[in-house]
Homo-oligomer: A and B are copies of this chain.
Amino acid sequence: MSDKGRPRSFDRADALMRAMKVFWEKGYEGASLTALTAAMGINAPSLYAAFGCKEALYLEAMELYAQTVGTDIWAALETAPTAREAVSRFLLATAEAYSQPGTPHGCLIALGGLHQAAVPEAVCDALTRHRMENTDKLRQRLEAAIAEGELRDGVDAGAVATFYATVQHGMSILARDGGSYEALKNVADGAMAAWGVLTQNTVP
């Protein structure tokens, strides 16, 4: 029913990926329609026909980021045999991703929507929600480790998860400031240095 009319002359998925990179580098407010259409190789009306509006395009780009770049980073959480290894690999994957040449440094989601006034409410909310969900993934992995007996019963999984998520967010800023892979790895190692003490603490 929808294969009538003139066919689209560009690859929607490819255009979305290009838009994602622009948003990643410049942020929502820094990515002008002019910059977006130039990078996507299309004109404004095509963008609006295919994606709705800038806000909707951003939300799609954010999801694409989460499902491509994000997946690389978070995959370790589910494949590593122990929680400690999972968090360690997660941080090292972060260090690697954030210093990857050819892509913007730091995380689209961590660095986006930090100034409410500069961004539509829905975008700000979606970004905050994503950050929360990521913290939650860490927490769930830690809780699984408690259930499996790797970690002591009573370890505050939420607190530990918040700590590692926060370190990762800081790594985005470090990456934006030009921090090298070594600098990022150093932070990852530093955070893992807290593991022993953190997983000894119990909820009071």
**Chain A contacts to B: CB under 8 angstroms:** 25-27, 29-31, 35, 106, 110-111, 114-119, 128, 131-132, 156, 159-160, 162-163, 165-174, 176-179, 183, 186-187, 190-191, 193-194, 196-198, 201
Copies of this chain: 2
- CA separation between A115 and B174, bound complex, in Å? 13
A27 near B117 (CB under 8 angstroms)?
yes
B27 near A115 (CB under 8 angstroms)?
yes
Q: Which of B106, B128, B171 is within 8 Å of A177, CB to CB?
A: B128
User: From residue A55, how far is it (CB to closest CB) to chain B in Å?
Assistant: 16
A25 near B117 (CB under 8 angstroms)?
yes
* Chain B residue with the shortest CB-CB distance to A185: B159
- CA separation between A185 and B130, bound complex, in Å? 22
Residues in B with CB closer than 8 Å to A26 are 115-118
- CA separation between A73 and B73, bound complex, in Å? 33
User: From residue A109, how far is it (CB to closest CB) to chain B in Å?
Assistant: 10
* Chain B residue with the shortest CB-CB distance to A168: B170
User: From residue A30, how far is it (CB to closest CB) to chain B in Å?
Assistant: 3
A197 near B193 (CB under 8 angstroms)?
yes
